[in-house]
């Protein structure tokens, strides 16, 4: 499959409220759980024993070192250690490096074994309350495999925030963007609605909006956001919607589609805030009716974007 075919497949799946997951185990032992990552955030899986690991002095305990792969120096993070698991010393040579791309940041994750790729509808992905009870939960949602076992999707943004915080959004930059910005009265009086399943991304958005004294409400998935909007008698009071793309139960693309199909919500400004930053995802979001698209690493720009879109739509 060519790169463009790869990207097209990712976009088509999200448009159909589907996701393709790479299922893997992070540690040894028959009873160790299955984990998963969106296939389109992965590049390849390589055998750890074939790559020399260069250790970095005074590095984070989870940063094992770096390897050189296809001319690129890639940091390797100890995923089992982050999850509280371990790989037996005798099994380490059989472990793998899962090479991933997060917002253009290439990292490798040590795992034990990659199993297979599965396709799921987001309606079959669930986020139990137990994952939402702590601010630093490492799991965002889960699904069932054919044998009934649970497969957990990890919050890789939380992993990056823990180990490489410089790769995440700098919320301290947000006040600089507001110096000469005139906030519309509708935004000051209203409440921005946000669909986002990652706890770390929720925290970033909450901090940015709180600093600007802008009211907001965050939902853990797109379905909850749509249910809330449907419950409002006057939907025109919504100043803007911010949505992720990848979410359990309902993807961001489906959120956009539903809002644009209704006469009551079709004029609400919609900003996509996602780590799925490929051009095809941006084009698809625009084709469905999103007004703008921002990478999660640049969420500090979210308020100027919202204001700009509100002005363009006359929604002030």
Considering only residues 159 and 171, tell me which one the structure prediction assigns the higher pLDDT. 159
For residue 3, pLDDT over 50 is answered with no
Where does residue 35 fall: left (phi above 0), alpha (psi -120 to 50 degrees), or beta otherwise?
A: beta
Residue range 265-290: average pLDDT? 86
- Same domain, residue pair 247 and 217: yes
Residue scoring higher pLDDT (88 or 179): 88
- 157 and 176 together in one domain: no
Whether 180 and 148 map to the same domain: the answer is no
Phi-psi region of 58 (alpha: psi -120 to 50; beta: other; left: phi over 0): left
Lowest mean pLDDT among 5-14, 42-51, 101-110, 277-286: 5-14
Band (pLDDT 50/70/90 cuts) for residue 236 is very high
Higher-pLDDT residue of 2, 112: 112
Residues 131 and 215 reside in one and the same domain = no
Tokens of 209: 């909006």
pLDDT above 60 for 192: yes
Q: Answer yes or no: is pLDDT of 6 > 80.
A: no
pLDDT band for position 278 (50/70/90)? low
Indicate if 97 and 224 belong to the same structural domain: no
Residue 39's closest CA among 126, 82, 88, 99?
Answer: 99
The least confident of 4-18, 64-78, 239-253 is 4-18
The domain that contains 204 carries what CATH number? Answer: 3.40.50.2300
User: Of the candidates 252, 246, 281, 274, which has an alpha carbon nearest to the alpha carbon of residue 8?
Assistant: 281
Can you tell me the distance from the alpha carbon of 171 to that of 205, in angstroms, rounded to the nearest whole number?
A: 8
The 10 Å Cβ neighbour count of residue 272 is 27
DSSP state of 126: B
Of 132-136, 207-211, 261-265, 311-315, where does mean pLDDT reach its minimum? 132-136
Decide the pairing of beta strands 270-274 and 292-295: parallel
Q: How many domains are contained in the chain?
A: 2
For residues 274 and 130, state if they share a domain.
no
Q: Is 288 in the same domain as 186?
A: yes
pLDDT (0 to 100) of residue 174: 65
Residue 129 and residue 31 in one domain? yes
The token pair at 59 is: 């590095």
Boundary of a domain, candidates 166, 183, 207: 166
Q: CA 150, CA 25: separation in Å to the nearest integer?
A: 12
Say whether pTM exceeds 0.85. Answer: no
Mark whether 137 and 8 lie in a shared domain. yes
Mean pLDDT of the chain: 87
Domain C-terminal end among 141, 166, 191: 166
Last residue of a domain, one of 166, 190, 212: 166
Length of the chain: 316
Q: What is the pLDDT of residue 143?
A: 94
Residues 23 and 160 in one domain: yes
HSE-up (13 A, CA, CB side) for residue 227: 9
Which residue range(s) make up the domain with 154? 3-166
Q: Is the pLDDT score of 295 beyond 90?
A: no
Residue 300 has pLDDT above 60, yes or no: yes
Q: Give the H or E element holding residue 38.
A: strand 34-38
pLDDT of residue 176: 65
β-strands 96-102, 105-111 pairing: antiparallel
Residue 242 corresponds to which tokens in the numbers above?
């911010």
pLDDT at 117: 93
* pLDDT tens-digit readout, 20-38: 899 999 998 778 899 999 8
Name the band, by pLDDT with cuts 50, 70 and 90, for residue 1.
very low
Structure token pair of residue 201:
């991304």
Pair 192, 268: CB distance under 8 Å: no
The interaxial angle of helices 3-15 and 252-261, nearest 10 deg, is 50
Do 123 and 10 reside in the same domain of the chain? yes
Residues 6+ apart with CB under 8 A from 191: 215, 216, 217, 238, 239
CATH number of the domain where residue 115 is located: 2.40.50.180
| Better-scored residue on pLDDT, 79 or 5 | 79
């Amino acid at each position: 499959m060519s790169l463009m075919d790869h990207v097209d497949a990712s976009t088509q799946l999200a448009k159909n409220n589907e996701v393709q997951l790479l299922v893997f185990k992070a540690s040894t032992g028959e009873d160790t759980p299955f984990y998963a990552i969106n296939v389109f955030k992965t590049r390849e899986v390589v055998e750890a024993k074939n790559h020399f690991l260069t250790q970095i002095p005074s590095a984070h305990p989870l940063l094992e070192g770096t390897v050189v792969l296809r001319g690129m120096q890639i940091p390797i993070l100890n995923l089992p250690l982050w999850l509280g698991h371990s790989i037996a010393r005798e099994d380490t040579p059989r472990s793998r490096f899962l090479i991933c791309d997060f917002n253009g940041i290439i990292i490798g994750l040590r795992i034990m074994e990659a199993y297979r790729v599965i396709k799921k509808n987001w309606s079959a992905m669930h986020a139990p309350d137990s994952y939402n009870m702590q601010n630093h939960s490492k799991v965002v949602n889960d699904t069932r495999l054919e044998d009934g076992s649970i497969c957990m999707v990890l919050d890789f943004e939380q992993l990056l925030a823990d180990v490489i915080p410089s790769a995440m959004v700098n919320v301290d930059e947000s006040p600089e963007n507001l110096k000469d910005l005139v906030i519309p009265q509708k935004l000051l009086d209203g409440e921005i609605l946000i669909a986002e399943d990652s706890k770390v991304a929720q925290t970033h958005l909450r901090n940015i909006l709180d600093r600007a004294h802008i009211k907001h409400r965050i939902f853990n998935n797109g379905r909850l956001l749509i249910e809330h909007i449907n419950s409002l008698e006057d939907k025109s009071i919504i100043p803007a919607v911010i949505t992720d793309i990848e979410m359990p139960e309902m993807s961001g693309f489906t959120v956009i589609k539903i809002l644009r199909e209704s006469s009551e919500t079709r004029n609400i400004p919609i900003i996509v805030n996602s780590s799925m930053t490929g051009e095809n995802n941006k084009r698809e979001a625009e084709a469905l009716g999103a007004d703008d698209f921002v990478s999660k690493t640049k969420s500090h720009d979210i308020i100027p974007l919202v204001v700009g879109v509100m002005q363009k739509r006359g929604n002030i």
